[in-house]
């Protein structure tokens, strides 16, 4: 047997041409499919039986490997861009952004430094500039696209603590103040940083307000290096009192970070813009394009009002990196807790450049209006209770008399029937159902049809 050439996987040969054709043909079919099923998870035992062993010394060949993916592995993954995927926070990438993600992977681009990826970084920065302008963060604002909201929040809080240290503050214990309903990533970041979370209770409406933040700062003083406000909570889509909180953080000289991973995109819509009054006074914000800005997984935009504070906190130093860190150009790796990165902001750039910002405003506005309409329908229906009027695009409701077991069984039936993916949720110890409406292809009839399955 001939020994394979060491560059076999990289040379352009008949074999590699066939592999590329297979993959691109599949990608084209998937991107243009109009009836992709929801699909559902299999057990590991089932997948092992159906897929068989695919990693061998000789390989099984591209055609068989793609066949296993298409017919076994992919059907075991729920389709997150399905119009009746309404759980968690859906992803609904535009066709242009999803297609361009293929280009990003095919182009061997590195997005960590200007010297290696100036064109890609320039395009990403244009998107960040546009977002910063929409949020009113000022002409100097800038940042970086990172993996997701958890890394974005962590990186912003690291920069906030470093800024406090630079001001000569050195408490026995660092603290971050946030709402008791803040996203779990804030607690995760605090564990990584070994700092304490001061979780401030909120009223029945779930909104964190300036007075409550002031009380927390009075109790904990200079040990608080940041306040985190939420611009669209995951469970209810609640927007904190950003302006009132900004009044307090400005008065006390404390860093204000706004976690807008899901909801801050609604600032683009004239219907919701005023809900976010005060975001323009934040020191840092995040928003996830893979949520309500119709980009593919994974992308979080982290923006600093003063990017130099992010650079000071995150630039890595090593002899082999001197050629990068001694330069003045914008290197995205300097602004978050990462070094190696793909230019994950490019699919959003291409989609925005292709369709225009107005298309985004229209799609977000449509989701907001659909949410209000289905909330009205729930309030009209006997046997249903709307838990709260939605602010953004999350609707939480109860089927009167149902237990958690009822919700679980109903949710499982929906998925088994391949009709919808709606996982139960809960609030204040009570089980409920929840629609997260982000996909522009979701219709009122889709939602009413799901309600009808509840009897």
Which DSSP helix (H) or strand (E) runs through 259?
Answer: strand 255-259
Comparing CA positions, the residue from 334, 343, 340 lying closest to residue 298 is 343
> Where would I find the H helices in 52-113?
62-68, 95-106
Give mean pLDDT, residues 11-37: 96
Report the pLDDT averaged over residues 263-268: 98
Q: Could you give the CA distance from residue 382 to residue 399 in angstroms, rounded to a whole number?
A: 9
Q: Name the band, by pLDDT with cuts 50, 70 and 90, for residue 328.
A: confident
Share of the chain above pLDDT 90, in %: 95
Strand, helix or coil for residue 107:
coil
Mean pLDDT of 14-19: 96
pLDDT of 2 strictly over 60: no
Share of the chain above pLDDT 70, in %: 97
The reported pLDDT for the residue numbered 5 is: 81
- In contact, 97 and 296? CB cutoff 8 Å: yes
Contact between residue 267 and residue 239 where contact means Cβ atoms under 8 Å apart: no
List, for residues 51-79, the tens digit of each pLDDT value.
Answer: 999 999 999 999 999 999 999 999 999 99
The answer, yes or no, to whether residue 134 has pLDDT greater than 50, is yes
For residue 323, what pLDDT band results from cuts at 50, 70 and 90?
low
pLDDT at 82: 98
Q: Give the per-residue pLDDT at 350.
A: 98
Sheet of 284-287: strand order equals 142-146, 300-304, 284-287, 255-259, 224-230, 175-179, 196-200
How much is the pLDDT for 1? 41
Average pLDDT value for the chain: 96
Average pLDDT over residues 172-186: 97
Q: Is the pLDDT of residue 319 over 70?
A: no
- pLDDT of amino acid 90: 95
Question: What is the predicted pLDDT for the residue at 348?
Answer: 98
285 to each of 27, 242, 352, 355, how far by Cα in Å? 34, 12, 20, 25
């Amino acid at each position: 047997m001939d020994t394979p050439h060491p560059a076999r996987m990289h040379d352009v040969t008949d074999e590699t041409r066939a592999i590329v054709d297979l993959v691109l043909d599949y990608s084209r079919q998937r991107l243009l499919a109009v009836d992709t099923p929801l699909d559902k998870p299999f057990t590991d035992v089932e997948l092992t039986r159906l897929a068989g062993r695919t990693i061998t010394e000789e390989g099984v060949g591209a055609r068989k490997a793609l066949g296993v993916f298409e017919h076994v592995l992919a059907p075991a993954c729920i389709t997150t861009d399905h119009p009746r995927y309404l759980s968690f926070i859906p992803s609904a990438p535009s066709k242009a952004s999803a297609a361009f993600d293929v280009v990003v992977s095919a182009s061997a681009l590195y997005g960590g430094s200007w010297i290696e990826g100036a064109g890609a970084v320039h395009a990403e920065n244009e998107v960040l500039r546009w977002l910063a302008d929409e949020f009113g963060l000022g002409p100097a604002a800038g940042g970086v696209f990172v993996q997701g909201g958890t890394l974005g929040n962590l990186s912003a809080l690291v920069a906030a603590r470093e800024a406090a240290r630079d001001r000569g503050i050195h408490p026995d214990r660092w603290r971050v103040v946030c709402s008791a309903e803040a996203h779990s990533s804030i607690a995760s970041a605090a564990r990584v940083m070994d700092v304490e979370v001061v979780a401030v209770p909120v009223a029945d409406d779930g909104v964190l307000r300036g007075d409550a933040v002031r009380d927390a700062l009075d109790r904990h003083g200079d040990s608080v290096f940041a306040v985190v406000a939420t611009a669209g909570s995951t469970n209810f889509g609640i927007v904190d009192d950003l302006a009132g909180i900004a009044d307090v953080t400005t008065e006390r000289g404390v860093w204000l970070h706004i976690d807008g991973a899901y909801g801050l995109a609604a600032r683009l819509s004239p219907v919701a813009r005023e809900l976010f009054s005060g975001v323009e006074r934040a020191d840092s914000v995040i928003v996830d394009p893979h949520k309500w800005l119709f980009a593919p997984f994974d992308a979080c935009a982290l923006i600093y009002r003063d990017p130099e504070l992010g650079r000071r906190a995150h630039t890595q130093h090593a002899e082999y990196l001197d050629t990068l860190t001694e330069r003045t150009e914008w290197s995205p790796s300097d602004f978050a807790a990462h070094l190696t990165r793909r230019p994950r902001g490019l699919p959003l750039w291409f989609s925005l450049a292709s369709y225009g910002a107005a298309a985004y405003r229209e799609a977000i506005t449509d989701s907001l209006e659909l949410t209000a309409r289905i909330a009205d329908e729930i309030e009209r229906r006997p046997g249903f209770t709307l838990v709260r009027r939605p602010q953004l695009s999350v609707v939480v409701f109860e089927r009167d008399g149902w237990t958690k077991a009822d919700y679980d069984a109903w949710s499982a039936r929906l998925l088994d029937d391949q009709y919808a993916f709606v996982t139960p949720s809960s609030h204040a110890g009570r089980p409920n159902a929840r629609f997260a409406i982000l996909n522009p292809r979701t219709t009122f009839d889709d939602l009413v049809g799901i309600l009808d399955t509840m009897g």
